[in-house]
Amino acid sequence: MMVDEEVQEPKIKTKTKIKVRSNPKKINRTIVDPTGFHVAEVHHAIGKKGVNRNIEAAWMAPRDHSVFEFRNINYIVGEGKAQKPILTNVSGRVSDGSTVAILGPSGAGKTSLLMALSLGITSGKVTGSIELNGKALTNQSFKDHCFLVEQSDHHWSFLSCLETLMYAASLLLGPGNHSAVVDSIIEKMGLQSCKDTKVGNDFVQGLSGGQKRRLSIAIALLKKPAVIMLDEPTSGLDSAASVAIVSELRKLAKTENLIVIMTIHQPSTKVYNDFDQVILMARGRQAFIGEAAAAHDYFETIGHPMVHMTNPAEFLVDLVNSDFTSEDSVLSILDEWKQHTSETHRSKNETLVVGSNDDFHQLIKRKKSFLHELSTIFGRHALLVARDPILYVGRIVLLLISNTIFALAYWSSREKVQAQAINFYYANAWPISLGSMFAVVAVFGLNAEFKSVIREVKNGMINPLTYIIAKTVLVLPVMLLFGAAAISTGVYAILGLKANYGIYLVLYAISMFVFECIAEVLSVAFINPLMGMLCFLSIWFTSFLFGGTFLPPDDLSVVIRWLYHAMPLSYTFNAISYHVFSGEDWPSCVPDANTGAVCVEFDESPDEAPIALILESLSKIIPNVSGDDNRVEAMAIILGMALGYKILYVAIFLFKSS
């Protein structure tokens, strides 16, 4: 596909007409390349393939004209006397084809304005009106027609650039082969050289910062939005990369009838010259809004001429930076603009032909379905489960190695005699203790996933419930894999356990699942994953301490006795101890000077089962052990706990993603 090298808006002579009819035999469609070059007239037969081609043809055509307008945006935080204005009466109007930069010193309100325009402010009070094509912007219309590219690029680390875009295309455009659309985007954003490179993260090398940023913009373009908002798109990039990204954004705005609004910090002169309009902010107020090329003329008229050969962006920011300019001067500039806008306020609303932008999105809505979205997310995360070495694969390997070492440490318990009963108990208690503690890494990994999912929900790519369902279904068999890794080699192969393998595996998996659910809750409860990890370790240690292995519940203070009943490990230890002891043939023991702490002569209590006698004796040392078979009850209670944590996780997830 050809790419227009000119910066000016291309003249598109060919009009695109898209008509959706109920039962047509053929659809005649003239496709216009987004760069402005005429491609071809295509005849598509109706049918499954025809609808897919209709979507592709609709995507290739430029959007209709759009207008984004915001008036008197105010943002206040705090209550009563502690109220603080963050934004004050900010207004503006932007038409398609425009690239708008929000400039200002630190604390000027740039990001707050962008968050307000993207309906992303969750605290404080925001007033004013925001409209797209004359209609109030809502969360749903934002999901349909806008896209927010945040300052931090949250992608799926173990997917390649191409895979990321293909999954995004499937979620945004519905089922079908979208290779042509994705290839077009990859070429447009200059990602050909890295399309097979994994995205990477802090631990795995992958795409560079500039490539990740271009990938974020590429996903935005797949959606074909009317408005793209970007928070500091050049942050952390060198000057050449900054120029390339802003230049490409302006070109895309011109050729595809987009509105591009971005915050930017200290752009170079070359970058500044690529902006069509600028909004200069200071103290949450506007100091200027208008054409970038006309800014220096305005400030010259109010007594602030720009020195020749000066970076215009630095000149503007320095004018309203109260850290280096007198406060009176900054306030004077703000008041001058307020007076200027009041004097020049006029019904100068240009008459623009504003399209409905519905043709493309109506086609998409016909194709997208809950089942398609669920299957796409399921396939994507199944691939991630297999590739991510930290979240699941690493824990499987660690469980295999660590529990093998522990089994070797308790080698003597292979001899099933009562003198080894205590060692035999701990040889089976440590595998579940370690496995549940390793779930702390899930807090970190799931927190990163949550940030990526939030971005997709915000931009209308997925429904949060589909992610939750797909991820839960995928995690359940992983818990069984954890159990198999923990007990197969260490407990069964080395220690020679005879108890039923399937029951032990289910017990282990359920006990792991409840801690996985706790990790899920803490991964979304805190923005910083380290706080969640600390809380998880506190919960795990409390569960381990009050699990009945060390302290009898009756000896605990009434104030904290409830912890024994509220923590999952107390039920796990009780069920597993009965299961493993009941599967062995224990010989009777005759007490003498060399016997261990547990030694029961079965002949003295012929009416009781030997297992019950051994466990009753062991309970004097390990309070949680019981001669009663409570395995079913314990599994039901643990599952109930897991369900409770899962419901809490879903509630927090939906609240934060709404």
Tell me how crowded residue 22 is: count the other CB atoms within 10 A of its CB. 4
The predicted pLDDT at position 46 comes to: 34
Tell me the pLDDT band of 570, cut-offs 50, 70 and 90. Answer: very high
Selection from 196, 226, 230 nearest residue 213 by Cα: 230
Which residues have CB under 8 Å from 371's CB, separation 6+? none
The predicted pLDDT at position 323 comes to: 74
CA distances, 649 to each of 461, 520, 540, 644 (Å): 21, 6, 18, 9
Q: What is the DSSP letter of 391?
A: I
| Percent of the chain predicted with pLDDT > 90 | 51
84-95 and 67-77 as β-strands: parallel, antiparallel, unpaired? antiparallel
The predicted pLDDT at position 168 comes to: 94
Q: What is the DSSP letter of 393?
A: I
Selection from 33, 7, 62 nearest residue 258 by Cα: 62
pLDDT at 363 over 60: no
Round to whole Å and give the CA distance between 462 and 368: 10
Tell me the pLDDT band of 53, cut-offs 50, 70 and 90. Answer: low
The predicted pLDDT at position 19 comes to: 40
pLDDT at 122 over 90: no
The predicted pLDDT at position 555 comes to: 85
The predicted pLDDT at position 608 comes to: 86
The predicted pLDDT at position 322 comes to: 79
Q: What is the DSSP letter of 197?
A: S
State which of 177-186, 415-424, 512-521 shows the largest mean pLDDT: 512-521
* pLDDT one-digit tens code per residue, 426-448: 999 999 999 999 999 999 999 99
pLDDT at 298 over 50: yes
Asked whether 479 and 513 are in contact (CB, 8 A), the reply is yes
Q: What's the token pair of residue 403?
A: 């529990």
Q: Tell me what the pLDDT averaged over the chain comes to.
A: 85
Query: Which residue type is seen at 555?
Result: D
> For the chain, what are the domain ranges?
1-62, 67-302+310-344, 370-657
Selection from 442, 462, 443, 441 nearest residue 453 by Cα: 462
Q: What's the token pair of residue 328?
A: 């009176």
Round to whole Å and give the CA distance between 271 and 246: 7
Tell me the pLDDT band of 45, cut-offs 50, 70 and 90. Answer: very low
* pLDDT one-digit tens code per residue, 583-593: 988 898 888 76
Round to whole Å and give the CA distance between 157 and 616: 52
Angle in degrees, CA 298, 304, 310, rounded to 5: 90
Tell me the pLDDT band of 558, cut-offs 50, 70 and 90. Answer: confident
Question: What is the CATH code for 67-302+310-344?
Answer: 3.40.50.300
The predicted pLDDT at position 208 comes to: 87
Round to whole Å and give the CA distance between 97 and 95: 7
Tell me the pLDDT band of 244, cut-offs 50, 70 and 90. Answer: confident
Tell me the pLDDT band of 94, cut-offs 50, 70 and 90. Answer: very high
pLDDT at 13 over 60: no
**Mean of the pLDDT values across residues 305-320?**
87
277-282 and 99-103 as β-strands: parallel, antiparallel, unpaired? parallel
* pLDDT one-digit tens code per residue, 55-81: 666 666 666 788 999 999 999 998 878
Type and span of the H or E element at 111? helix 110-117
**Mean of the pLDDT values across residues 535-541?**
96
